[in-house]
Amino acid sequence: MNVRSRTVNMTEGNVVAHIVKFALPMFVGNLFQQLYNLVDSIVVGRFVGADGLAAVGATGSVTFLFFALCNGIGNGGGIITSQFFGTRDDTNVRKTMVNTAYIMAVMALSVGAVAYILTGPILRLLNTPDKIITDSITYMQLQCIGLIFVALYNYAASMLRALGDSRTPLIFLVISCFINGFLDVFFVCFLHMGVFGAAFATVISQLLSGASCLIFAFKTNEYFKFNKELARPDRVLIVRTVRLGVPLSLQFALIAISCMALQRVVNGYGAVAVAAFTATSRVEQIIHQPYQTMGASLSTFSGQNYGAKKNDRVVMGLKKSMVMMAVFSLLMLPIIQFGGTWIVKIFVEDAAVIEMGAAALRITSYFYVCLGTIYVVRSVLTGVGDAVFALQNGIVEVICRLTIPLLFTMIPVMGVWGIWWSVGATWTISGLTAVVRYLDYSKKIGLRQERNMEVNG
């Protein structure tokens, strides 16, 4: 079997075709991954009520914090793997994959245990309303137990994507999402297990997707076949992976902390605002997916081409992706502006929540281009190994989410709406920060477009 038979080399051929073909399976996969939370929210909101929806939503930023600490390491290992793959260094590809697995296993187990213990204190620190605190703790603690299964899937997916295979993770994710939907309905609607049932269904589905994807990868992809020599811990590669992965983890963690700060502001406005914020957050998670998948595709593309010393293709990938991102952002604007009410109705029947959620979506939709800019530019920087920006970006988001919501909500004409205006302002500032960093860093590493380059657009 050809060692590269289940991989894709992005250092040659049409730039846009590579990015789109790689991103499409990831986009579908990420949509299904979001269905874990969406189905939980819809089933709980419809069959448990607005308070149940608020309880699930109140845990979102906290859960993201702990998941981010593990996923950043996986992303760092994936970037290094893609760079070795671009240089045709198959030995170091395998070594990086093995050492990334060691790091992620330790991170997932340790972070999951700490998160489980700290769930109650953190949710109380965030001023979670008393009427939903018990269900929120229950939901989050089960998510912490499932962290090892999330890490299992994300490890397999990040390694496969680094090798250019974005389809295999999709297959198992889709199957597990259908299982999650079935179990959600069964546990919540028929067994009346409430929020606990929704969380339990998610954990079971995460276990199935992670285990099945990894087992399949070991059986079908030659890069997952290791001998004793390759399986030994490699200090140099562990340090390199940690050096790139930790800033990514810290970036995600800082973003999560900033979201927790925003959630605390939201919690102060009561259960209706929390439910509306939960609904709009779930919708925005869907909006994030095209940007996120394009960014992940661009990160792998940039990593392979930067490793192959084809900087001109990296720049072309950035420019083409910015155009595609802008087109999508403009297309989504009228959909959200005129269809926001119907979208929020999917989650909840409470009239007050629907009215607030629809108005909030209209506010944030004006800033989608800024959100897309963050993903595109940040992904190129990550792909070429800029670990510093990841941390810088996280710090910027923390500062913005700590200060802007407090300032905006104090303005009489804004009040509670300052929550969503602050989201747009944060996206704008973060996007500008990313552009400035790219312009500076690209000069340092010689990332420029050659006049005589031969690249198919």
Q: 162 in a domain, yes or no?
A: yes
| Closest C-alpha to 222, from 308, 97, 86, 76 | 97
| Closest C-alpha to 166, from 21, 40, 327, 274 | 21
Q: What is the pLDDT of residues 68-100, one digit of tens each?
A: 777 777 777 887 887 788 778 888 888 888 888
Q: 58 in a domain, yes or no?
A: yes
Question: Rounded to an integer, what is the distance from CA 34 to the centroid of its chain?
Answer: 10
Q: 4 in a domain, yes or no?
A: no
H or E segment and range at residue 316: helix 311-345
Q: How far is CA 117 from CA 29, 142, 153, 195, in A?
A: 31, 12, 24, 19
| Residue 146 token pair | 């499932």
248, 256 Cβ separation under 8 angstroms: no
235, 242 Cβ separation under 8 angstroms: no
Q: How many domains does the chain have?
A: 1
pLDDT band per the 50, 70, 90 thresholds, residue 363: very high
Average pLDDT over the chain, rounded to an integer: 81
Residue in the block written with tokens 């590579």: 18
Q: What is the pLDDT of residues 203-212, one digit of tens each?
A: 898 888 888 8
- Confidence check: pLDDT of 366 > 90: yes
Which domain does 290 fall in, by range?
15-444
| Residue 72 token pair | 């950043």
Q: 451 in a domain, yes or no?
A: no
Residue in the block written with tokens 């340092």: 444
Q: 325 in a domain, yes or no?
A: yes
Q: What is the pLDDT of residues 276-303, one digit of tens each?
A: 887 888 788 778 878 888 887 888 788 7
N- to C-terminal Cα separation, the chain? 32
Q: In whole angstroms, what is the distance from residue 448 CA to residue 454 CA?
A: 14
Q: In whole angstroms, what is the distance from residue 399 CA to residue 453 CA?
A: 41
| Residue 224 token pair | 């997952």
26, 248 Cβ separation under 8 angstroms: no
pLDDT at residue 274, as a whole number: 81
Q: 2 in a domain, yes or no?
A: no
pLDDT at residue 454, as a whole number: 42
Q: 1 in a domain, yes or no?
A: no
| Residue 235 token pair | 């200090």
Most distant CA pair in the chain, distance: 67
Q: In whole angstroms, what is the distance from residue 372 CA to residue 153 CA?
A: 25
Q: How far is CA 169 from CA 115, 118, 267, 366, in A?
A: 27, 31, 36, 33
Q: 457 in a domain, yes or no?
A: no
pTM above 0.75, yes or no: no
272, 353 Cβ separation under 8 angstroms: yes
